Structure 1
Amino acid sequence: MKLSAIVPLWALLSLTQQAPPREKCSCELSLEEKPFPHDKLQTVEGNATECKTHVTPEKALELESLLLGLEKRLTQLHSDVSILENEDDGELYGVLSLFVIENEMVAIRHLMDKLNRTTLEYQVLTADTIQQLEDLKFEMTKLEKFDTMKVVMGRRVNRHLESALETCMSGVNSTVAPTQELYGTCERGPLRNITGPVINTQGEFSGSYAYGAWGRDPKPEAGKERWYWMVPLTSSQYGHYVRFYSSLNALIIGVSNPGNIQISPSNPTTNTIQGPNNVLYGGALYYNCYNQDAVCRFNLTTKTVTNVKLPKGTRYNSKSNFCHLETCFLLTDLDLITDESGVWVVYTTTQALGNLVLSKVEETEPPSLGKTWTTSVYKRSVSNTFMACGVLYATRYINTNMEEVFYSFDTTTGMENFKVGIFINKVSPNIYSLNYSPVDQMLYVYSDAKMVSYKALFGYSDLYSSQE
């Protein structure tokens, strides 16, 4: 090999080893997406929660109740004016009728004032709510721009598809659904509110009888449609006669006609009325038989007494009274109540562990017990009960001025509701008897020697169907 050939190779090798190293390869990552504004989402959620707390079902119920109450009061006023036109004798009856009408008009005026205030509040609330919803919609539209994966849009499309599928399926299996879920045995629906008191009087006895009961016969005999009855009880809560009045005016001024109808000659004896929870129905007085776990029926026409024994283990003689935290009401083991279908009795038994038991009292001769239900509300936690349209309602003592209808039991469906939440404004601390009359949808209360009445308002609402 020639030397001249070796030298160039050596030079090439030297040049290769001395070449500078190449630069490192790098790339930049650029994110086009903006960071998600979590703080703005939290603000929107907070605004939505605040809006929800301002717009509540109770506010809508208040307005509906006021409108319904005004409608009922106007109807009552028209009825009172008609009675005045027919009965006005230019003397005491006319004066009392005018007094009743004046009270009705004052109550209507107060109701309209409250309705006007409530309507104005709702107008402001509606305007504020609309603006808040518009703001929420605007913010949510801006937040949707961050949904680059189209998740929200996909869920929205899925909801539309599910709705269309349900519509299609309902068309295939078409059945006519009821417009409103059945509640009780009447079309008027559940109890919505209690207004009043409408009447507040001591009658002719002026506080002499602290205990008793009064009301109207839901199934009156011919010619007695406008009669009122009253059962005054002694201080030991016994009675032996029922007293009648030909009209409300007669009851207020104390003119009793035909007067007393005697059941037994004295107190207490075999057929004595025991306790304040008695009612009149179909020309007969139903009450707790003296010293018995039985319901007595006194026929006003034949002047005879028949009875029906309650189930074995029934508590009586003040062993399971109506109560509240401070006291119990003596001899209230049995509560006789009426509604559109007849007479019922509320009591408890050892087998029911002290819970309310409800039985239908059938108009047989002698009377008999029909279907019976056991509820899950403890009787001593209840201060009184009444029936309306096949639904049992229970009250509890709140304070000296307020009573609450807190519980209902629907005999048609067996459904219980512990959140009825309807309040009664009391004129005296203690309600000894409470009964509903379907003749005029009134509640008749005997409270510390006073005879008091309230208007019961009924009606369907989505609020109630969601609570039940």
Structure 2
Amino acid sequence: CTHFCEILYIELLLVVHGLYLTATIGPKEGWQVYSSAQDADGRCICTVVAPEQNLCSRDAKGRQLRQLLEKVQNMSQSIEVLNLRTQRDFQYVMKMENQMKGLRTKFKQIEDDRKTIMARNFQELKEKMDELQPLIPVLEQYKTDAQLISSFKEEIRNLSMVLAAIQEEMGAYDYDELYQRVLRLDSRLRNCMGKLTCGKLMKITGPVTIKTSGTRFGAWMTDPQASQRNNRVWYMDSYTNSKIVREYKTMEDFVANAVSRTYNLPFKWEGTGHVVYNGSLYYNKYQSNIIVKYSFETGRVLAQRALEYSGFHNTYSYSWGGFSDIDVMTDELGMWLVYATNQNAGNIVIAQMDPDTLEVQKTWNTEYSKRNAGESFMICGTLYITNSHLTGAKVYYSYSTKTSSYEYTDIPFHNQYFHISMLDYNARERALYAWNNGHQVLFNVTLFHVIKTEDDS
């Protein structure tokens, strides 16, 4: 990747489209969609995309260039050998041509005055001329071949110069320098994305299967508040009767099942609606409506609080059961609880919670039955609810805490393994983490942003 990589990277960050509703925004292979946007009148949509981690690596392109240079050099050497042979043969034929010209002159003189020459000498010259006669077309062919080889040499020389210039340009940048430039661009992209923090869910793509492990039900997660260098993964198999949390240093370690630490929680959990947020685990205590905050660093419970009126232990679970009454969630705006109460007729209640004290700050009552929901997740203060945990599931309903209003949606996603028991949004990764019938998978999301101009403010 040369200096134009940065230009290409930046140019592709914002791709302008005219009509979002009639055109599907799809990045080229190797690029990931971050989000989409348009103005209030729907006139301009942009899609923020970024390359995969190794897109700007010059290894593959450099290797191809080196192979091409080697082929050109080999070709040049072969042509040079052919040229030497041709030149040698050409000199021999040129010598023969001179001899033929001399013989022609002598022969003409003999024909002009053959009466004065003995018949024997005349016949001898005639035979030599007959022997040399077939060499005339060979001579002409050698002349043509010599010109062709000369042309080949010139083309090879030009091509070598072009390739050498490209290689010199690529070599002008050290690989580590290029990598640092990519990191800086990635940082700038994330800063840009920070200005487009919130948006409306438009599309779910995937899934990508990360691993196959555990029972049919469970939860896995990363910390959306962690730094970019902190990629720890936490794994909680089953929906009850367990206190063991496994930690992996990286996603690669998670795939390889290389456990770095194991935590033995003070209380068992219920359901799969757990989250890790700013280094602590938040979960529903077994057979209760109590939320527990557990610090991985200290190995201690930092806070506990009962969620008033909330059903628990399969009173108001999701459609798949599993004691999934209380679902702890996080998004760009903070921490949330999703549950149901008798006071709201078993319909879903959304609560915004202080992550430090676990105090409920505000609640919203929806009209969607908790038992009829497959799963749910929060993005930018809006709750999205799926209509099933089985095949054919889609995001069917959304409730905005900003406007205290709901709407019915139709956003399909691929339930590849037919049974979802955990679906949670990670704002740092802009992805949905899911436990799909013993498979840990990721879904990418595309968000719709309304870009406000100075006139709108």
TM-score computed with the length of structure 1 as normaliser: 0.56
Which residue is 1:354 aligned to?
346
Q: CA deviation at 1:316?
A: 0.8
> Closer, same or farther in 2 for the Cα pair 1:320/1:73, shift >3 Å?
same
Superposition deviation, residue 275 in structure 1: 1.3
Counterpart residue number, 2:235: 230
Q: Report how far residue 249 of structure 1 moved.
A: 1.4
Q: Contact (CA 8 Å) 1:277, 1:432: kept in 2 or not?
A: no
- Matched residues, percent identical? 25
Unaligned runs of 5+ in 1: 1-58, 86-184, 265-270, 463-468
8 Å CA contact retained: 1:319, 1:333: yes
- Asked if residue 331 in structure 1 is aligned to residue 326 in structure 2, the reply is no
Q: 1:61 pairs with 16, 21, 41, which one?
A: 21
Structure 2 SS opposite 1:252: helix
Which residue of 397, 402, 425 corresponds with 1:412? 402
Counterpart-to-counterpart distance in 1, 2:219 and 2:31: 29
Quote how far apart the aligned CAs of 1:293 are: 1.1
Task: Report the 3-state secondary structure (helix = DSSP H, G, I; strand = E; otherwise coil) of the residue aligned with 2:32.
Answer: helix
Partner of 2:62: none
Counterpart position of 2:249: 246
Cα 1:238–1:68 change in 2 (3 A) is farther
Alpha-carbon displacement from aligned partner over 1:200-238 (angstroms, at most 9, x marks no partner): 421xxx4x4222111210112x686222221112xx633
Residue deviations 1:357-388, cap 9 Å, x none?
A: 011120234x2111111111111111111011
Deviations 1:268-309 (A, max 9, x none): xxx111111111111111111111112111111222222111
| TM-superposition CA deviations, 1:125-169 (whole Å, max 9, x none) | xxxxxxxxxxxxxxxxxxxxxxxxxxxxxxxxxxxxxxxxxxxxx
| Structure 2 counterpart of 1:216, from 199, 214, 222 | 222
Residue in 1 aligned with 2:306? 309
Q: Is the 8 A contact 1:197 1:425 kept in 2?
A: yes
Partner of 1:214, secondary structure, is strand
* Structure 2 partner of 1:291: 287
CA contact (8 A) 1:433 1:446 kept: yes
The amino acid that maps onto 2:272 is: P
Looking at structure 2, the residues matched to 62 and 280 of structure 1 have their Cα atoms a distance apart, in angstroms, of: 39
1:79 pairs with 2:53: yes
Alpha-carbon distance in structure 2 between the residues aligned to 1:245 and 1:278: 17
Structure-1 separation of matches of 2:365 and 2:314: 20
* Amino acid of the structure 2 residue aligned with 1:355: N
Cα pair distance change 1:459/1:348, threshold 3 Å: same
Q: Secondary structure at the match of 1:61?
A: coil
Contact 1:218-1:340 at 8 Å conserved across structures: no
2:419: which partner in 1? 430
List per-residue Cα deviations over 1:335-354 (Å, max 9, x = no partner): 11110122211001100001
| SS in structure 1 at match of 2:387 | strand
* 2-structure distance, mates of 1:303, 1:83: 41
Alignment RMSD (CA, Å): 2.8
Match of 1:364 among 356, 376, 388: 356
Structure 1 segments of 4+ aligned residues over 6 angstroms from their partners: 82-85
User: What is the number of equivalent residue pairs in this alignment?
Assistant: 283
Residue 196 (str. 1) matches residue 188 (str. 2): no
Distance change in 2, residues 1:348/1:249 (3 Å)? same
Check whether the contact 1:395–1:403 (CA below 8 A) recurs between aligned residues.
yes
CA contact (8 A) 2:32 2:52 kept: no
The structure 2 residue matched to 1:374, chosen from 365, 375, 390, is 365
Structure 2 vs 1, CA of residues 398 and 370 (structure 1 numbering), >3 Å: closer, same or farther?
closer
SS of aligned partner of 1:296: strand
Instruction: Note the 1:29-178 alignment, pairs <5 A.
Output: 61=21, 63-67=23-27, 72=32, 77-79=51-53
The answer for the alignment partner of 1:131 in structure 2 is: none
Q: Counterpart amino acid of 2:232?
A: W
